Amino acid sequence: MSFLNVNFFSHVLGMGCIANVILPQSPPDKILPKPFKTLYLLHGLSDDHTAWTRYTSIERYVQERGIAVVMPCVHRSFYTDMKHGGKYFTFVSDELISIMEEMFPLSNKREDRYAAGLSMGGYGAMKLGLSCPEKFSVAASLSGALDVERLLIDNPGSEFSYLIDDSDESRQKNDLFLLAKRLNESSQPKPRLYIWCGTEDFLYQDNVKFNEFIGKTKFEVKYEESAGDHSWGYWDIKIKTVLEYIFSV
């Protein structure tokens, strides 16, 4: 595998950005088929683009799969077009994909694109899948912050109120429950969804609530829970399960 630290300019954000990229590398006796299937792997609120490679063995896990991994930095944006700040969802869902597919031999087919993440990144991955079903065939959340409505209500005056406002327009764009309901009622293709959360995680009840909701829809969903809290030891294990789920069809 090849590991690249990619610096580039975002016209959407109006500034220089960074992403870590893992690319398959052909062995001496074999040429790997291109373009590569791609996992967009998203970091959490207190992390950055380096977290997944620092705290897990993601490079080793994807080596046998022959897929690329793109890990962008979005700071504490919650993968939103922020109320006060940059348009980070537009950046991740549109511009980043275009830039990465221009720079590297990545497939532009929906069935070859996947999104996954932890905590804030779990929310971001689900949002990508539910908002852009024409671009992503799988969305996976590990310990995801899946109920932003609750975060806004329970944390008045916090940074969440600067990221997402309580207007109907904002809720339509950022509330996963509303996004899932809208997509469920449409004729658009629906991504397969994977959700895991530890039973000792502070976001556990949000995950249970979302699973109960999504289970009543037409989505194909695999929900799992097990003993665990909000920590990397569990995410390192469960990202392997995510890869297994991606390639289970």
The reported pLDDT for the residue numbered 162 is 67
**Taking Cα atoms as reference points, which of 69, 137, 149, 118 lies closest to residue 239?**
118
Q: Which of 41-45, 168-172, 243-247 has the lowest mean pLDDT?
A: 168-172
The residue whose two tokens read 């809720």 is 171
Write out the two tokens for 191. Answer: 């991504």
As a three-state string, the secondary structure of 51-105 is HHHHHCCHHHHHHCCCCEEEEECCCCCCCCECCCCCEHHHHHHHHHHHHHHHHCC
Find the mean pLDDT for residues 12-35.
90
The reported pLDDT for the residue numbered 171 is 76
122: part of which helix (H) or strand (E)? helix 120-131
The reported pLDDT for the residue numbered 73 is 98
**Taking Cα atoms as reference points, which of 163, 160, 19 lies closest to residue 83?**
163
The reported pLDDT for the residue numbered 148 is 86
226: part of which helix (H) or strand (E)? strand 221-226
Q: Are strands 68-72 and 15-23 parallel, antiparallel or unpaired?
A: antiparallel
Position 100 pLDDT exceeds 70:
yes
Position 198 pLDDT exceeds 90:
yes
Q: Which of 92-106, 150-164, 192-206 has the lowest mean pLDDT?
A: 150-164
For 111-128, the pLDDT digits (tens) are 999 999 999 999 999 999
For 147-167, the pLDDT digits (tens) are 988 887 777 667 777 677 667
Position 213 pLDDT exceeds 70:
yes
The reported pLDDT for the residue numbered 157 is 65
Reported pTM:
0.95
Q: How far apart, in Å, do the first and last CA atoms of the chain sit?
A: 24
The reported pLDDT for the residue numbered 181 is 96
The reported pLDDT for the residue numbered 151 is 80
With a pLDDT cut of 70, the percent of the chain lying above it is: 97
DSSP 37: P
Position 185 pLDDT exceeds 90:
yes
The Cα 35–Cα 104 span in angstroms is: 9
CATH code for the structural domain at 2-241? 3.40.50.1820
The residue whose two tokens read 């990465």 is 100
Position 170 pLDDT exceeds 90:
no
The reported pLDDT for the residue numbered 154 is 78
- Structural domain spans, the chain: 2-241
